Chain A
């Protein structure tokens, strides 16, 4: 939801840069004022449709100007500031709803008023002190407190406070937890059904066959022999059912070999016209078991989709862990045009990843190639030898 705009905490900017900032802020006051006025014009024009693109345009421009001020404030105060906007995507109307629905838009507008009044005065004062020759000594001492004051005023509007951020986090966690609980409940229901209709039913049939065989042994040994034979076949089927249920819960190869080996095994079971699925693994250790499992099922879902819909001749899976993020990329050279909203499978994967603050993103221009990226922040456990290979 938010990406880092100003990087890590660092040393505050020097006086020369502060002077430049003050000057820039003076100049930027003009577009800020213009955008503020345009916003309300656009708002009125929405009734005759031309306002829709205008609202989106002004909103995006205001975001850019505000973000420039965020950067300056972050640099002046020597502290990181997040870019707090929700992402905008979809059609024009969806974007307008995105702009209007984002609380930060309204804070940007409030900030615009402050920036062209209080903020402008502070920047002007700093600049006058510098240019006023005799007041340069005064400037030397005043520039930092003045611009720090301006930065705090800016950030009061432009950055969420700690409490607000925590509230948003709680909101996100509540949502992902509710989804996860739904997901687990659905999974349990599916398991119950699979066991009930599969292994359990077969075991009932098995005990019936054996019971009848027991009765038949004395009078009709041939019939008894046939019934025991049936019983053995039913047992084999029950074992097969149990095996597929177990695979659906936690594939044994995942427990044995970890993510890399299990994905390799997946790839081996799939063959495309252009050759086997290539797997490249660069994991110096093992992710936590639940993450491993979520990513494994995500990759499995992606590969299944490649097989079903993409019309691809080649596919590949890259697994890597860098900067504290486990990243799995599933690519294919199929027809593209895929969207994460296409199937319930992908939504299930997203929900499962969201429980670990993970994300799924799809890049699939018409004509391909399609790249599905699964990312989960996590640490790896005990470093082991890196396994890297492509199935032949």
Chain B
């Protein structure tokens, strides 16, 4: 898979390039600032992007803005956003930029290489991957309709779905069978009034409903 990578710290950039190349990704462009990033993202060869939120020249949220902008130009373009800190506000903005194919993770999650790479693949495949820290913040606060119809267990499952975990991974985490997880998920879909359709798409919709978008 051909990726665009934006990260302004040379050490981290080199690390990410090596890590992703080892796992079979092709790094098409590796840039360290926002203006170059805008050009790189327009490369028709690019299939997905891994971006740092904070980039020169302003060192604020250039990466996030670039991600939202490119998804306006190329709807559904998969973007994985990395940051030293996560903000619910930013997660909401990213998810509002089109259903699915977005990820938002703390930079240090990269240290779990297998899971990070798996996350990038999921995003590229149209999934949603949110940092557990965002998920726990939402879990702590959410009490509104229609989510208050969910049982605590269903909330937990929905949270893990938002983190981008597969049914198998959710089952393992909650020490239940995959069948039980599927049952919870069907119940979530029903309670959130999600129309029948492709399962991946419904997962994304459920997560969006959960983030109150």
Contact = CB atoms under 8 A, between A and B. Distances in A.
A265 B87 contact: yes
Interface string A78-89: 000000000000
Interface string A253-266: 10111000100110
A243 B85 contact: yes
B141 A270 contact: yes
A286 B144 CA distance: 34
Interface in A227-262: 232, 235-236, 239-240, 243, 246-247, 252-253, 255-257, 261
B105 to A, nearest CB: 13
B143 A236 contact: no
24 contacts: A232-B111, A232-B112, A235-B111, A236-B108, A239-B108, A240-B108, A243-B84, A246-B84, A247-B85, A252-B54, A252-B85, A253-B90, A255-B60, A256-B60, A257-B89, A261-B89, A264-B89, A265-B87, A265-B89, A268-B92, A269-B137, A270-B141, A275-B144, A392-B212
B89 A271 contact: no
Interface of B: 54, 59-61, 84-85, 87-90, 92, 108, 111-112, 137, 141-144, 212-213
B133 to A, nearest CB: 9
A236 B111 contact: yes
For A232, A236, A268, the residue with the greatest tally of chain B CB atoms inside 10 Å of its CB is A268
Given A235-B108, A256-B61, A271 B143 contact: yes
B89 A253 contact: yes
Contacts of A246: 84-85
A273 interface: yes
Contacts of B88: 265, 268-269
B108 A271 contact: no
Nearest to A268: B88
Nearest to A257: B61
A97 B54 CA distance: 56
A151 to B, nearest CB: 56
For B85, B137, B143, B212, the residue with the greatest tally of chain A CB atoms inside 10 Å of its CB is B85
A165 B89 CA distance: 47
Contacts of B212: 392
Contacts of B144: 271, 275
Nearest to A233: B111
A290 B212 CA distance: 33
A270 B89 CA distance: 12
Contacts of B92: 268
